[in-house]
Amino acid sequence: MTYKITALPGDGIGPEILKGSIEILETLSKKFQFEYDLVTKDFGGIAIDKHGEPLPPDTLEACRNSDAILLGAVGGPKWTNPKNRPEHGLLGIRKALNLFANIRPTIVTESTAHLSPLKESIVKDTDFIIVRELTGGLYFGEPKYFNDDQAVDTLTYTTDEITRIAHIAFKLASKRNKVVTSVDKENVLSSSKLWRQTLEQVSKEYPDVTLNHLLVDACSMHLITNPKQFDVIVTENLFGDILSDEASVIPGSLGLSPSASFGENGPSLYEPIHGSAPDIAGQNKANPSGMLLSLAMCIRESLHQPECAQHLEDIVFNTIKNGIATKDLGGNNSTSEVFEAIKQSI
Ligand SMILES: NC(=O)C1=CN([C@@H]2O[C@H](COP(=O)(O)OP(=O)(O)OC[C@H]3O[C@@H](n4cnc5c(N)ncnc54)[C@H](O)[C@@H]3O)[C@@H](O)[C@H]2O)C=CC1
Ligand SMILES: CC(C)CC(=O)C(=O)O
Ligand SMILES: [Mg+2]
């Protein structure tokens, strides 16, 4: 079977971290003997420059016809038109492909515990997954507008949307430590009341999984003071976006965190959780680990090569353990030196 992959480098550090990752994929495919066809398409700010829109029809069509999509990052100071931003392309592709389930793991391995700005005793052995609802909530609610004296965003969730993401979280927890922590703002928001009520309802189908609830403000504190208590966290779009960037400091850097987004069927999308990092773009400084670990998720879930995925994850962490790391992790290596070290280890 030849898998179809669409690569969307995007903007800023996106092309820097994706190009090297594609070379790693090529090397891995030879070692583990699997085949794929990869096409690269314009997406984000570069697509606005070349085609006038962040998600051109040709790009979306290629994504629809793929098994997997590898995405770098989009956005930057060049593209600030509120009616036509690179980020609209990101929201657009998630919605168009119904990628409602965003999986964001946080793992502190032996090789990364000392890199955390938190105490090693607090972070060591942390292993949790944030399941972020990705196609609803504030990012998509209508009405949505701003004018000179008023701005409106709407936070809407339906029972169906909450139910399907809740099932993803419970199924994941069933195969792990059997604890789901649902995060909401039930003391204030109507959408959170429905969220909590629906989570309770779905939990009845998973009697071996414990369901806890946390308010999002308290959760942000618990994440940093006792991250080991968590197994699977499930939350709505905006809370998941914020909490996952916070969670990335537990292993040491935003540049380490991967993600995978799934729909009910169709292609899945793999991207690091960080943005286009305009402050370091074009300087060969970006940490490629989040992109490479997203590639590993792609290799496992969409290309069905679990041994290859494990091999790549081991190499990424061993490279860091061997002291080859970018500046965000306290190292002094460039992006290309990290890629080269990883390639040599394959
Ligand atoms: N999935 C995506 O494409 C996302 C895009 N964005 C967009 O990215 C642009 C920049 O947003 P920011 O708020 O600056 O967030 P950001 O995530 O791009 O950067 C935040 C900080 O983390 C650092 N950083 C991020 N990734 C890194 C890596 N791989 N290695 C080393 N350091 C890294 C950056 O240098 C910066 O100091 C904006 O246009 C934003 O909308 C933001 C988040 C996600
Ligand atoms: C740029 C936003 C639309 C998304 C974001 O920050 C994310 O998905 O992590
Ligand atoms: Mg984010």
Q: Which ligand is nearest to the CA of 271?
A: 1
Q: Distance (Å, rounded) from C-alpha 42 to C-alpha 272?
A: 18
Q: Distance (Å, rounded) from C-alpha 259 to C-alpha 325?
A: 20
pLDDT at 339: 98
Mean pLDDT across 11-17: 98
Q: Is the CB of 296 within 6 Å of ligand 2?
A: no
Instruction: Clarify whether residues 30 and 75 are in a common domain.
Output: yes
Whether a cis peptide bond, with omega within 30° of 0, leads into 117 is: no
In a domain, 115, yes or no: no
Give the pLDDT band of residue 131 (cuts 50, 70, 90). very high
Q: Is the CB of 274 within 6 Å of ligand 1?
A: yes
In a domain, 139, yes or no: yes
Which residue range(s) make up the domain with 3? 1-103+259-346
User: Which two three-digit tokens encode residue 323?
Assistant: 């002291």
Nearest-5° Cα angle at 293, 288 to 295: 95
Boundary residue ending a domain (249, 277, 303): 249
Q: Is the CB of 241 within 6 Å of ligand 2?
A: yes
Residue 242 alpha carbon to ligand 1 centre in Å: 13
Tell me the C-alpha to C-alpha distance, in Å, between residue 130 and each of 126, 197, 223, 247, 271.
13, 20, 11, 9, 15
Residue 241 alpha carbon to ligand 2 centre in Å: 7
Cβ neighbours of residue 61 closer than 8 Å, sequence gap 6 or more: none
Q: pTM for the whole thing?
A: 0.98
Q: Is the CB of 54 within 6 Å of ligand 1?
A: no
Nearest-5° Cα angle at 304, 298 to 309: 55
pLDDT at 112: 81
pLDDT at 56: 98
CB neighbours of residue 49 within 10 Å:
14
Q: Which ligand is nearest to the CA of 85?
A: 1
Catalytic residue among 3, 19, 42, 139: 139
pLDDT digits (tens, 9 = 90+) for 136-182: 999 999 999 999 999 999 999 999 999 999 999 999 999 999 999 99
From 170, 160, 55, select the one nearest 100 (Cα to Cα): 160
In a domain, 116, yes or no: no
Instruction: Clarify whether residues 236 and 284 are in a common domain.
Output: no
Q: Residues forming the annotated binding site? A: 94, 104, 132, 217, 241, 245, 275-287
In a domain, 110, yes or no: no
Q: Distance (Å, rounded) from C-alpha 2 to C-alpha 142?
A: 41
Residue 174 alpha carbon to ligand 1 centre in Å: 33
Instruction: Clarify whether residues 143 and 183 are in a common domain.
Output: yes
What atom in ligand 1 is closest to the CA of residue 72?
A: 3
What atom in ligand 2 is closest to the CA of residue 134?
A: 8
Work out the burial of residue 137: count CB atoms within 10 Å of its CB; fewer than 13 is exposed, 13-18 middle, 19 or more buried.
buried
Residue 217 annotated in active site: yes
Q: Which ligand is nearest to the CA of 94?
A: 2
pLDDT at 109: 85
Nearest-5° Cα angle at 62, 59 to 65: 150
Instruction: Clarify whether residues 146 and 231 are in a common domain.
Output: yes
In a domain, 114, yes or no: no
Q: Residues forming the annotated binding site for substrate? A: 94, 104, 132, 217
Instruction: Clarify whether residues 148 and 231 are in a common domain.
Output: yes
Residue 110 alpha carbon to ligand 1 centre in Å: 26
In a domain, 184, yes or no: yes
pLDDT digits (tens, 9 = 90+) for 226-263: 999 999 999 999 999 999 999 999 999 999 999 999 99
Residue 139 annotated in active site: yes
pLDDT digits (tens, 9 = 90+) for 65-118: 999 999 999 999 999 999 999 999 999 999 999 999 999 999 998 778 999 999
Q: Is the CB of 133 within 6 Å of ligand 2?
A: no
Q: How many domains does the chain have?
A: 2
CATH number of the CATH domain containing 292: 3.40.718.10
Beta bridge partners of 4: 37
Boundary residue ending a domain (249, 275, 310): 249
CATH number of the CATH domain containing 153: 3.40.50.2300
Instruction: Clarify whether residues 18 and 79 are in a common domain.
Output: yes
What atom in ligand 2 is closest to the CA of residue 102?
A: 8
Q: Distance (Å, rounded) from C-alpha 298 to C-alpha 200?
A: 31
Give the pLDDT band of residue 271 (cuts 50, 70, 90). very high
Residue 125 annotated in active site: no
Instruction: Clarify whether residues 266 and 314 are in a common domain.
Output: yes
Q: Which ligand is nearest to the CA of 246?
A: 3
What atom in ligand 2 is closest to the CA of residue 241?
A: 9
Place of tokens 């919605």: 95
Beta bridge partners of 68: 5, 268
Residue 245 alpha carbon to ligand 3 centre in Å: 6
Three-state secondary structure along 83-111?
Answer: CCCHHHHHHHHHHHCCCCEEEEEEECCCC
Query: Which residue owns the Cα nearest ligand 2 atom 3?
Result: 87
Instruction: Clarify whether residues 55 and 132 are in a common domain.
Output: no
pLDDT at 128: 98
Instruction: Clarify whether residues 239 and 294 are in a common domain.
Output: no
Mean pLDDT estimate for the chain: 97
CB neighbours of residue 62 within 10 Å:
21
Q: Which region, left, alpha or beta, applies to residue 212 given φ > 0 means left and ψ of -120 to 50 means alpha?
A: beta
CB 303 within 8 A of CB 36: yes
Residue 274 alpha carbon to ligand 3 centre in Å: 6
In a domain, 54, yes or no: yes
User: Which two three-digit tokens encode residue 264?
Assistant: 């009910």
In a domain, 121, yes or no: no
Instruction: Clarify whether residues 234 and 263 are in a common domain.
Output: no
Instruction: Clarify whether residues 268 and 302 are in a common domain.
Output: yes
CB neighbours of residue 228 within 10 Å:
15
Boundary residue ending a domain (181, 214, 249): 249
What atom in ligand 1 is closest to the CA of residue 73?
A: 3
DSSP character at residue 220: H
Instruction: Clarify whether residues 161 and 245 are in a common domain.
Output: yes
pLDDT at 180: 99
